[in-house]
Amino acid sequence: MNEIIQSSLSLLWPELTLTVTFILTLFSQFALRKAPMHSGYVALAGFLLAFLLLGTQGGSDASVFGVMLAVDPFAVFFKYLIIISGILVLGFSLQSEEIRNNAEHAGEYFAFLTSMTLGMFLMAGASNLLMMYLSIELVSLSSYVLSGYLRNVERSNEAALKYVIFGAVSSGLMLYGISLIYGLTGALDIYSMRDVLATGAVMPGSWAFATLVAAVILIIGGFGYKISAVPFHYWTPDVYEGAPITITAYLSVASKAAGFAIMIRFFKVAFLNTVSADGAWEVLAGMNWELIIAVISVLTMTLGNLVALWQDNLKRMLAYSSIAHAGYMLMGLVVATDNGIAAIMVYFVMYLIMNLGAFYVVMVVAQKTGSEDIDDYRGLAYRAPWVAGAMAIFLVSLTGLPPTAGFIGKLWIFAAVLSKPGFVWLAIIGVINSVISLYYYARVFRNMYLRQGDEEKAQPILFGSRTIAGSLIFAVPTIVFGLYFGPILEWAKNSVTLFLR
């Protein structure tokens, strides 16, 4: 037992670092009473250390503490995404006036950001239903508090309350699903679950199979809530609108990445027979879950896009657009091949850059103009050409047009879908949706470039060089990765390996 613990802990340096960072950040506020925002630098140091220590997990294909937590290339990939977006969001937060104006609790703010990141790290590797539940709870608990951070803003309180209520319902559904699966297979870790299913204990056509389907749908409730897939998306617009924008950005990228990681791991491992040489998954007889995911994918992207058309608040519009993007990414899971997963991973890298960039621009513009309304973006191109230019790049990329990162992401997803026979209809729906999304992204674009603001709103907005540099950090890669994406593709393809025991 001692050796197990030692060898397990030696693979968990980033997680341990984040745990210690949480405690240090929390207590740093007592030493930094005069400058509470400096707690952010404590957290930043911890995040950077965790980022470096992630290198120690590279190349490992193992599971620690029995088979509780997989440390494999797939998990490490998502952990990199999470920690990079974590570092960027910490950077946002240090610049954010919303947070500065409530700086007396900044210690807690940065501490919860750390615990949320820790939870997402655990989600990326969790391979036991119990660990899955616990890690999701850790993330949820932290994000509930963070979305209600702005105590004196009514929207923020509303966001937190709605988030808690919907969160409680989905964890309840998920726990119920877990209990059904335990009753059917007597297993909590997904490897034993697969072994039991492989013995034919649950035959298609039997009542036990119906139970399994019900249980899987209930568990999707838990995952779908994290990635805001329809019909578990209800919390998304209100929370994204009400939460501090830094948290919105983090939820829309990192939390979603962790949700996808946990969902992919569950579906790949629990129902897998073998992986063929070309990376196609051979699913256990009768356990075809692809159609369930395909339906959710279609619902998610269609609803996200259609409702986004009517939004006047840019934050809320981006919330619906992030729902739609989750729908596109789910198409990669429907394919059930390693290629599909690699496509999701590529998409996520691109999505991280363009979405964080868009939220960054919304944040800095709101800090100058005090508004997040799309109408108040009129004439922005003349008032603040650099920032508006960056925003235009993000919008083009979010639509998925060349030569931007978003185009590459979509390209690989659609290529993966078309490689699967019988799912051409899904690709067609995806393309139609992309066209719909063009309309609402273009609306912001049109407001920025083709319309003049009111007289009193015609003065140039002066952004500091830090802000312009900040938006370029996102805008430049959005273009660069649209033209030169070889390394990312390579990285994703090398990281599809899941620990399969």
- Residue ranges binding another protein (CB under 8 A): 1-2, 5, 8, 19, 22-23, 26-27, 30, 64-66, 68-69, 105, 108, 111-112, 115, 118, 122, 128, 130-131, 134-135, 137-138, 141-142, 144-145, 148, 151-152, 183-186, 196, 201, 206-208, 210-211, 214
Closest-CA residue to 212 (of 202, 201, 198): 202
Residue 274's DSSP bridge partners are: 282
Nearer to another protein among residue 149 and residue 328 (C-beta): 149
Buried b (16+ CB within 10 A) or exposed e, 136-152: bbbbbbbbbbbbbbbee
Place of tokens 């619902």: 299
Q: Are strands 62-64 and 69-71 parallel, antiparallel or unpaired?
A: antiparallel
Longest CA–CA span in the chain (Å) reads 74
**Taking a C-beta distance cutoff of 8 angstroms, is the pair 333, 341 a contact?**
yes
Which of 157, 299, 317 lies closest to 232 in space, CA to CA? Answer: 299
Shortest distance (Å) from residue 367 CB to another protein: 24
CB of 148 to another protein, least distance (A): 7
Q: Nearest-5° angle of CA 318, CA 323, CA 326?
A: 125
> Which residue number, 45 or 161, has a Cβ lying nearer to another protein?
161
Residue 234: exposure state from Cβ atoms within 10 A (0-12, 13-18, ≥19): middle
CA neighbor of 350 nearest in space, from 391, 390, 400: 400
Q: Alpha-carbon distance 108 to 123, whole Å?
A: 22
CB of 184 to another protein, least distance (A): 6
Q: Nearest approach, Cβ of 223 to another protein (angstroms)?
A: 18
Q: Fill in the amino acid letter for 476.
A: V
Minimum CB separation from another protein for residue 411, in Å? Answer: 39
CB 383, min distance to another protein, A: 37
Q: Would you say how long the chain is, in residues?
A: 501
Task: Give 201 or 411: the residue with its C-beta nearer to another protein.
Answer: 201
Q: Of 36 and 482, which has the nearer Cβ to another protein?
A: 36
> Distance (Å, rounded) from C-alpha 434 to C-alpha 324?
9
SS3 425: helix
Smallest separation (angstroms) from another protein to the CB of 291: 18
User: To the nearest whole angstrom, how small is the minimum distance from the Cβ of residue 68 to another protein?
Assistant: 4
- Name every residue whose Cβ is closer than 8 Å to that of residue 9 and which is 6 or more positions away in sequence: 16, 64
In the bound state with another protein, the residue whose beta carbon lies nearer, of 186 and 402, is: 186
Helix (H) or strand (E) holding 467, with range, is helix 465-483
CB atoms within 10 A of CB 283: 17
Question: Which residue, 64 or 398, is less far from another protein as judged by CB?
Answer: 64
Which H or E element spans position 177?
helix 154-185
Residue closer to another protein, measured from CB, 213 or 280: 213
Count of other CB atoms within 10 angstroms of residue 318: 29
Say whether the peptide bond before residue 487 is cis (omega within 30 degrees of 0): no
Question: Least distance in Å: CB of 141 to another protein?
Answer: 5
Nearer to another protein, 135 or 467 (CB): 135
- Is residue 24 helix, strand or coil? helix
Distance separating the N- and C-terminal Cα atoms of the chain: 20
Residue indicated by tokens 């703010």? 109
Distance in Å, CB of 225 to another protein, minimum: 17
In whole angstroms, how close is the CB of 357 to another protein at the nearest point? 30
Contacts of 279 (CB under 8 A, 6+ apart): 337, 338, 339, 496
